[in-house]
């Protein structure tokens, strides 16, 4: 839910940086065939080089962007920028086996499946089963014009999506079905492992996916703290979804589309074969994001009122949610009163926690559940998984960064040219080449990547190491960044515009 909100918030930014993404992808790729010749901004020319998997020629008059159609099939409201539907799709009540409700019931994929085969495919059993038919046969037999009519309720008034989507979106959906549908079974063996080869898949992965998902595919967690979901999980558990997302991209994000990059079915199969070898283990515990803003990570409301210890200081005049963030009392540099929060508006006088990294797990638990100090009790909010993640963070992941940043905020060394390559390979895809595609502040007081890098290098290192709570920003640690990478990145990010 939270993630979707954030995706929608950045949708505008995504459009801005889309051209950048493809430019970036093209430079990462040495293969001439994978560089798109046309920018995707003009819908009618978006897929000039795609070989349609079905040979029917699109009707004159229907022109649009079938790749966008594939994203609409996944989660149309994220793509069109509409509110998430709150009631059930009218057809939903005609089945009872799938007990989801609300927005999910409006996703084309929820009724027709990631394999487009509905009840005859993967959704023929399990919690997603509805009994509804697939679209694969219709997509082959019917024209785009007929498919468009079905989306407007020609066959069943309850299947009218023209009330929730504009005409162009419906056309894009019809073209998606008519021109680009691939039977994922053709890439899968009977045990649902890929028919492709992991070797070439690894090369493809390293060319593109690695920059956001990390070498092991675990830099972005699609699940949550209690139930991790990395590329390795999805590739094994739901290869149909994997194939769809890799071909069309992920709605509301800048994840590239394999179709736009002109990848062959063989290349998709190879990628899947590699993805099916990736780890299901996390590279970071998630504790770093909890330290930053724990309620965003676990998806609850921030506690009301001030944290009880807050009353024991008067210098930091913030109130409410802020007072519950670990970082607000212990600092982005983990040094509390001995570090950057030793003066200025964040000053509390509270101690740092760097030396707690050698503390035994039992003692750290006792700190977090109030046994050491009843006013330092987070156990009513944080379950065992979250407490354990924080313990791992304190013991293993929290680092003294005084070898990267001096006490006065100046930085030590770093090669901006090397930093620029890292920035353009990864960060620029979401934040834009100048780091300004998303504003973390507001119109009057803008805050961009460059602003944070200059004003708060400790926060920069923390956020880039662990990712931004409640969003899909990858973890730099899981991307394989070393101390050297952080130096280089900071050196470059500090040259970006701050306003
Ligand atoms: C709530 C479930 C549901 C959702 C959501 C849904 N459909 Fe359907 N769809 C159906 C049902 C039920 C049928 C009728 C199947 C039949 O003929 O028995 C159908 C029929 C179709 C057909 C015609 C199939 C044929 O064989 O004639 C197409 C094409 C189609 N849907 C596409 C879509 C697309 C694209 C979306 C997303 C915009 C979508 N559907 C969303 C339930 C759904
Ligand atoms: C520019 C960054 C970027 C690149 C490059 C990228 N992805 Fe993604 N990918 C994302 C984001 C962001 C998400 C959304 C994560 C979320 O919703 O939590 C995502 C989601 C996914 C998902 C769906 C997860 C789910 O369950 O919803 C899969 C599968 C995936 N990516 C695979 C790949 C593969 C394979 C490649 C390389 C071909 C790739 N990605 C390249 C950013 C990227
Ligand atoms: C409102 C301010 C505040 C917040 C929020 C806060 N702490 Fe503390 N923390 C303190 C104070 C003050 C102490 C020392 C208390 C004492 O000496 O009794 C402390 C002590 C600790 C200690 C023991 C340090 C040592 O070396 O003995 C650890 C570890 C710790 N906090 C971690 C956390 C974590 C993790 C979070 C977030 C879940 C957090 N704290 C949130 C104020 C805070
Ligand atoms: C897949 C997209 C994605 C990638 C890649 C990405 N970020 Fe982010 N980043 C986000 C999102 C989303 C936010 C949250 C924005 C918000 O809260 O408004 C964010 C937030 C941030 C923030 C913190 C803003 C704050 O709240 O103070 C910083 C700093 C940042 N990113 C830097 C980077 C750097 C540096 C890189 C490259 C190493 C990077 N990001 C890569 C999506 C991404």
Going by C-alpha positions, the residue among 45, 472, 63, 467 that lies closest to residue 245 is 472
Total length of the chain? 499
Going by C-alpha positions, the residue among 456, 7, 52, 492 that lies closest to residue 265 is 52
Q: Which residue has the higher pLDDT, 28 or 357?
A: 357
* pLDDT on residue 29: 35
Averaged pLDDT, 231-259: 96
d(CA 194, CA 236): 9
State whether the Cα torsion 367-368-371-377 is positive or negative.
Answer: positive
What percent of the chain lies above the pLDDT cut of 70? 88
Residue closest by Cα to atom 39 of ligand 4: 427
Q: Which residues pair with 61 in a beta bridge?
A: none
Q: Please list, in sequence order, all residues whose beta carbon lies within 8 angstroms of the beta carbon of residue 324, skipping any fewer than 6 positions away.
A: 294, 295, 302, 303, 307
Give the lowest-confidence range in 11-15, 289-293, 295-299, 367-371.
Answer: 11-15
What b/e readout covers 10-43, taking b as 16+ CB neighbours within 10 angstroms?
A: bbebbeebbebbbbbbeebeeeeebbbeeebeeb
Going by C-alpha positions, the residue among 368, 367, 330 that lies closest to residue 346 is 330
Q: Which residue has the higher pLDDT, 47 or 380?
A: 380
Confidence of residue 10 (pLDDT cuts 50, 70, 90): very low
Question: What's the whole-number average pLDDT of the chain?
Answer: 90
Q: How far apart are the first and last CA of the chain?
A: 30
The alpha carbon of 222 is separated from its chain's Cα centroid by a whole number of angstroms, namely: 7
Q: How open is the CA angle 392-396-397, to the nearest 5 degrees?
A: 90
Output the six-digit token pair for 485.
Answer: 């990478």
Burial status of residue 93 (CB atoms within 10 A of its CB: 0-12, 13-18, 19 or more): exposed
CA of 493, closest atom in ligand 4 = 35
Residue closest by Cα to atom 32 of ligand 2: 246
* pLDDT on residue 126: 95
d(CA 162, CA 175): 16
Span 424-476, pLDDT tens digits: 999 999 999 999 999 999 999 999 999 999 999 999 999 999 999 999 999 99
Is residue 240 within 8 Å of 112, Cβ to Cβ? no
Residue closest by Cα to atom 16 of ligand 3: 373
> To test the ligand 2 pocket, which listed residue (220, 251, 261) has its Cβ within 8 A of the most ligand atoms?
220
Output the six-digit token pair for 495.
Answer: 């040259």
What SS3 state is found at 411? Answer: strand
* pLDDT on residue 32: 35
Give the lowest-confidence range in 11-20, 168-177, 267-276, 449-458.
Answer: 11-20
Please count the other Cβ atoms lying within 10 Å of the Cβ belonging to residue 198: 16
Span 70-98, pLDDT tens digits: 999 999 999 999 999 999 999 999 999 99
* pLDDT on residue 471: 92
CA of 453, closest atom in ligand 4 = 29
> To test the ligand 1 pocket, which listed residue (90, 93, 132, 141) has its Cβ within 8 A of the most ligand atoms?
132
Residue 6, pLDDT > 60, answer no
Q: Please list, in sequence order, all residues whose beta carbon lies within 8 angstroms of the beta carbon of residue 493, skipping any fewer than 6 positions away.
A: 419, 423, 427, 435, 449, 450, 452, 453, 460
d(CA 78, CA 70): 12
Residue 221, pLDDT > 90, answer yes
What SS3 state is found at 2? Answer: helix
Residue 39, pLDDT > 50, answer no
Please count the other Cβ atoms lying within 10 Å of the Cβ belonging to residue 230: 25
Residue 41, pLDDT > 80, answer no
* pLDDT on residue 27: 35
The 3-state DSSP composition of the chain as helix, strand, coil percent (nearest 5) reads 50, 0, 50
Is residue 240 within 8 Å of 114, Cβ to Cβ? yes
Residue 25, pLDDT > 70, answer no
Span 311-332, pLDDT tens digits: 999 999 999 999 999 999 999 9
Q: Please list, in sequence order, all residues whose beta carbon lies within 8 angstroms of the beta carbon of residue 39, skipping any fewer than 6 positions away.
A: 19, 22
* pLDDT on residue 60: 62
* pLDDT on residue 56: 52
* pLDDT on residue 57: 54
Span 337-377, pLDDT tens digits: 999 999 999 999 999 999 999 999 999 999 999 999 999 99
Instruction: Write phi, then psi, for 75 (nearest 5 degrees).
Output: -160, 85
Confidence of residue 38 (pLDDT cuts 50, 70, 90): very low
SS (H, E, C) 170-220: HHHHHHHHHHHCCCHHHHECCCCCECCCHHHHHHHHHHCCHHHHCCCCCCC
Q: Could you tell me the pTM of the whole model?
A: 0.89
- Closest ligand (CA of 313): 3
d(CA 254, CA 21): 7
Ligand 4 centre from 438 Cα, in Å?
A: 8
Going by C-alpha positions, the residue among 276, 333, 272, 312 that lies closest to residue 465 is 333
Averaged pLDDT, 43-58: 44
Task: Tell me how far apart the 2 most distant CA atoms of the chain are, in Å.
Answer: 74
Output the six-digit token pair for 303.
Answer: 């506690």
What SS3 state is found at 405? Answer: strand
* pLDDT on residue 16: 36
Ligand 1 centre from 138 Cα, in Å?
A: 10
Q: Can you state the angle between helices 287-298 and 457-466, rounded to 10 degrees? A: 70
């Amino acid at each position: 839910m939270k993630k979707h909100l954030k995706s929608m918030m950045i949708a505008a930014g995504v459009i801005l940086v889309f051209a950048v993404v493809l430019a970036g992808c093209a430079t990462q790729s040495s293969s001439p065939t994978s560089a798109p010749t046309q920018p995707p901004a003009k819908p009618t020319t978006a897929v000039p080089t795609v070989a349609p998997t079905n040979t029917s020629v699109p009707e004159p008059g229907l022109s649009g962007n079938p790749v966008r159609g594939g994203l609409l099939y996944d989660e149309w409201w994220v793509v069109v920028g509409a509110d998430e539907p709150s009631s059930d799709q009218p057809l939903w009540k005609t089945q009872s086996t799938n007990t989801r409700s609300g927005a999910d019931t409006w996703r084309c994929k929820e009724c027709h499946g990631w394999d487009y085969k509905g009840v005859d495919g993967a959704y023929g059993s399990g919690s997603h089963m509805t009994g509804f038919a697939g679209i694969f046969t219709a997509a082959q037999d019917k024209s785009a014009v007929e498919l468009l009519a079905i989306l407007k309720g020609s066959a069943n008034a309850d299947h009218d999506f023209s009330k929730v989507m504009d005409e162009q979106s419906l056309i894009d959906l019809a073209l998606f079905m008519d021109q680009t549908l691939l039977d994922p079974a053709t890439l899968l063996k009977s045990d649902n492992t890929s028919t492709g080869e992991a070797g070439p898949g690894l090369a493809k992965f390293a060319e593109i996916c690695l920059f956001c998902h990390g070498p092991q595919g675990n830099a972005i967690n699609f699940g949550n703290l209690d139930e991790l979901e990395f590329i390795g999980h999805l590739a094994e558990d739901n290869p149909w979804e994997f194939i769809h997302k890799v071909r069309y991209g992920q709605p509301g994000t800048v994840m590239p589309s394999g179709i736009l990059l002109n990848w062959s079915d063989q290349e998709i199969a190879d990628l899947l074969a590699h993805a099916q070898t990736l780890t299901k283990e996390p590279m970071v515990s998630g504790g770093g994001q909890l330290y930053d803003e724990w309620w965003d990570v676990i998806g609850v409301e921030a506690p009301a009122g001030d944290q009880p210890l807050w009353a024991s200081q008067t210098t930091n005049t913030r109130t409410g949610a802020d007072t519950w963030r670990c970082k607000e009392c212990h600092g982005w540099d983990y040094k509390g009163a001995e570090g950057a929060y030793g003066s200025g508006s964040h000053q509390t006088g509270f101690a740092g926690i760097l030396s707690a990294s050698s503390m035994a797990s039992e003692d750290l638990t006792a700190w977090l559940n109030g046994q050491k100090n009843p006013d330092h009790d987070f156990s009513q909010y944080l379950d065992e998984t979250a407490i354990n993640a924080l313990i791992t963070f304190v013991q293993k992941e929290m680092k003294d960064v005084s070898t990267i940043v001096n006490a006065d905020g100046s930085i030590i060394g770093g090669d901006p040219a090397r930093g620029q390559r890292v920035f353009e390979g990864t960060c620029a895809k979401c934040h834009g080449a100048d780091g300004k595609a998303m504003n973390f502040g507001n119109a009057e007081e803008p805050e961009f990547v460059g602003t944070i890098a200059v004003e708060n290098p400790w926060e920069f290192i923390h956020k880039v190491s662990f990712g931004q709570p409640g969003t899909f920003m990858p973890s730099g640690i899981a991307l394989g960044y070393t101390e050297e990478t952080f130096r280089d990145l900071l050196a470059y990010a500090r040259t970006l515009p701050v306003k």
